[in-house]
Structure 1
Amino acid sequence: MLGIFSRAIVTPPDELVAAGCRTPSPKITSTALVNRFLENNACGVSVQIGDHVKLAYTHHCESVLQPRSFAVKDDIFCLFEGVLDNLGSLRQEYGLAKSANEVVLMIEAYKALRDRAPYPPSHVVGHLEGNFAFILFDKCTSTLFVASDQFGKVPLFWGITADGYVAFADDADLLKGACGKSLASFPQGCFFSTAAGGLRSYEHPKNTITAIPATDEEIWGAKFMVEGPTVVAAMK
């Protein structure tokens, strides 16, 4: 799955911007990145949302245990990869039919958070049990909401394209040639919300997340870590 967002939607992390400037390497534009995705995935589907958002996904070569899904409802677009172990109880909590899958559940959970919930995004993501990663965009509010499970079982990466778009993908190789050194693993157990102020740990929402520049020998521009007595997310 692939989600690409312009600076009008999200400000790129300073650490990834600095990494790209520190060790320049070839990049391609956001449009070229989508085209590359579709060229490598004959059954791929892409969606353009206005001038600032591009989404794409495919069922090609997906894992049976980590299927990919896509849904749109009330101008909320969501890409979801993985499986929720507590999907049944979450359906009941949000009043959904038994046929609702993970991506539909995520849209409804986000709507509840946006429209009526008195709790923060960390509460919503913290109640998801299983292996997952998702990219959600609310067109009505121009809000981006991205998260990865606490063990990083579903890979998720982010980087910056040649034209300054922030790209999220489950395929590191796809972004390596597109984002140069402006590339990192999305930290496990964390979420990114433009409505909530950026990158946060949903297990330890009050803890600061810092980025450590990678060495020149590494392909990554930085690794993001949650500060505290115990490091709960540290990924390259």
Structure 2
Amino acid sequence: MLAVCEKSIGKPPEELSLPTVGPQKSRTRTEIAEVFRSARPESTVYSLPGGNLMALSHQDENPLHPRSVVVMDDVFCIFIGNLENISDLRRHYGLSKQTNEAMLVVEVYKVLRDRAPYPSDQVIRDFAGKFAFVLFDARCHMLFAARDRDGGVKFQWGVAGDGSLVCTDDPNIMSEACGRASAQFPPGCIFMNWSGLVSFDHPLHKVRAVAHEDNDGNISAVIFKVDLFTRLQSIPRTGSAANWADVKVVEASSGNE
């Protein structure tokens, strides 16, 4: 799985660019797509507005964590893993038995975008299972990504040479695309390009980037963790498509400091 969004849309946290030890890559979005195609010739690449892209391959797929993709009403979603309670979620949202995980995520996103009075962290908290997903709304230029609370599915994010945000489940692709400017996507978190990184188990606590240094004092890695000692003031609620793009989560993005 691969998703690449240019800087102004992806809005990657600044801390992803901190590691200075090891090779630094200067790949562009086009070059990253070619790297993915070369490594996975049978892959399908979806070209999105603004030169953004998503790609899916079933090569080396873990049968316990299958990959699926869906495109509905200009909303693209790649889902990895399984939801143990998908039957309950289908009933809750009034969806058919043929609705798979990727389709469910799109429908849930559309509910949040258009009419839900509750925040996205509350919705994703109800997802049970091992999963990771990336969703892109081509009309609104909204990016939405999440990983299960146990980190049961491989999922990384990083910054490419042109500043694009890169998300993938393939460490080799991440290394080629971003070098050391990458990190594990934190378990139990969601990322939205309009509000930043939030823990869906601890939404009122800040998610911080912790830098790790080598013996020479160089930053070798960054790990994002929930700071249970820092409590946010509040989380605004969304209620309509009109205010969806304007809502802000107070200090939720690790790149706000």
SS in 2 for 1:105: helix
Q: 1:15-59 CA distances to partner (integer Å, 9 max, x unpaired)?
A: 11233xx44733122211111111111211101112241100111
SS in 2 for 1:108: helix
Q: 1:140-188 CA distances to partner (integer Å, 9 max, x unpaired)?
A: 1111000000000001100111111010000112111221221100000
Alignment-derived partner of residue 232 in structure 1:
none
| CA distance in 1: counterparts of 2:178 and 2:212, whole angstroms | 15
Give the AA of the match of 1:132. Answer: F
Alignment-derived partner of residue 177 in structure 1:
176
Q: Which runs of 5+ in 2 are unaligned?
A: 230-257
Give the AA of the match of 1:14. Answer: E
Q: Taking structure 1 as the reference length, what is the TM-score of the superposition? A: 0.91
Q: Counterparts in 2 of 1:182-201, with a 5 A limit?
A: 182-195=181-194, 197-201=195-199
Alignment-derived partner of residue 162 in structure 2:
163
Q: 1:94-140 CA distances to partner (integer Å, 9 max, x unpaired)?
A: 11110110000000000011111100010111111000000001111
Give the AA of the match of 1:78. Answer: C
Q: Counterparts in 2 of 1:109-188, with a 5 A limit?
A: 109-188=108-187
The structure 1 residue matched to 2:203, chosen from 202, 205, 209, is 205
| Alignment CA distance shift 1:167-1:98 (3 Å) | same
SS in 1 for 2:177: helix
| CA distance in 1: counterparts of 2:149 and 2:9, whole angstroms | 26
Indicate yes or no: 2:12 matched with 1:12: yes
SS in 2 for 1:187: coil
Q: Counterparts in 2 of 1:68-87, with a 5 A limit?
A: 68-87=67-86
Q: Taking structure 2 as the reference length, what is the TM-score of the superposition? A: 0.84
Give the AA of the match of 1:79. Answer: I
CA-based RMSD of the aligned residues comes to 1.8
Give the AA of the match of 2:29. Answer: S
Q: 1:74-99 CA distances to partner (integer Å, 9 max, x unpaired)?
A: 11100000000000011111111101
- Contact (CA 8 Å) 2:47, 2:53: kept in 1 or not? yes
- Contact (CA 8 Å) 2:61, 2:67: kept in 1 or not? yes
- Contact (CA 8 Å) 1:9, 1:52: kept in 2 or not? no
| CA distance in 2: counterparts of 1:10 and 1:221, whole angstroms | 21
| CA distance in 1: counterparts of 2:38 and 2:214, whole angstroms | 30
Shift of 1:220: 5.6
- Contact (CA 8 Å) 2:66, 2:82: kept in 1 or not? yes
Task: Calculate percent identity across the aligned residue pairs.
Answer: 38
Count of residues in Structure 1 that have an aligned counterpart in Structure 2: 227
Give the AA of the match of 2:189. Answer: C
Alignment-derived partner of residue 251 in structure 2:
none
SS in 1 for 2:123: helix
- Contact (CA 8 Å) 1:26, 1:177: kept in 2 or not? no
Shift of 1:8: 2.2
